[in-house]
Chain A
């Protein structure tokens, strides 16, 4: 069984306040595992915040319930992983492929940025929940 060295879980309405809460959770997570190098902390935090922001900005409710954001983060000896979920949400609209916007575009870089920041990104759709699974193989100092 894989050893989990530290973890954090957030769940709440997919609203702007949630982004600051998730970011604060991540900042406190790194205090528990100071051996994770700064580059891994920085890249992983950025990927998680990008994914969570994507849900807050774009997830649409599937029914009458409001969309909820869930972020479950775990640190294992050589792996950082986050499950970033949109509960009670419709399947994402449009292509899930990273875009390549022009230099003067003010949006559209999020997915490409996430892919550049982590080792793997997978997407799951189950029981009305969209989940992004972000994994980054942690590097040695």
Chain B
């Protein structure tokens, strides 16, 4: 899995491309923690190119959400693909991790 980020006007967009599984989940956590440490506490994780997520990946997103909130901000997810949406719904975590159609819409009303 490959990670990248871009700081926008009101948030930092993290792109996670590939499979978000037990191998890549700790790396996502570390990557987002570094972005937060760099001064961004409003994070959008763009999952447009994340075709697969397991419970480890879900756990990493929850850890990232907690880290963003502890830094006084928030974390939202965007462009969720069908398999990821299925995992979010089956675990009822779609109520905790708010999904937006695009990264640009995630913080547009704040």
Residues of A within 8 A of B (CB): 16, 19-20, 23, 38, 42-43, 45-46, 49-50, 53, 56-57, 103-107, 109-110, 112-113, 116-117
| A-side interface mostly | helix
Q: Mark B89-110, 1 if CB is under 8 A from A, else 0.
A: 0110101100000000000000
Of the A-B pairs whose beta carbons lie under 8 Å apart in the complex, a sample of 22, sorted by A's number, is A19-B23, A20-B19, A23-B52, A42-B83, A46-B86, A46-B87, A49-B54, A50-B54, A50-B55, A56-B22, A103-B93, A104-B62, A104-B96, A105-B62, A106-B60, A106-B62, A106-B63, A107-B59, A112-B91, A113-B90, A113-B91, A116-B90
Rounded to whole angstroms, the CA-CA distance of A49 and B58 in the bound complex is 14
Query: Number of residues in B with C-beta < 8 Å to the partner?
Result: 23
List residues of chain B with CB under 8 Å of any chain A CB.
19, 21-23, 52, 54-56, 58-60, 62-63, 66, 82-83, 86-87, 90-91, 93, 95-96
| Cα distance, A25 to B21, chains bound together (Å) | 16
B64 to chain A, nearest CB (A): 10
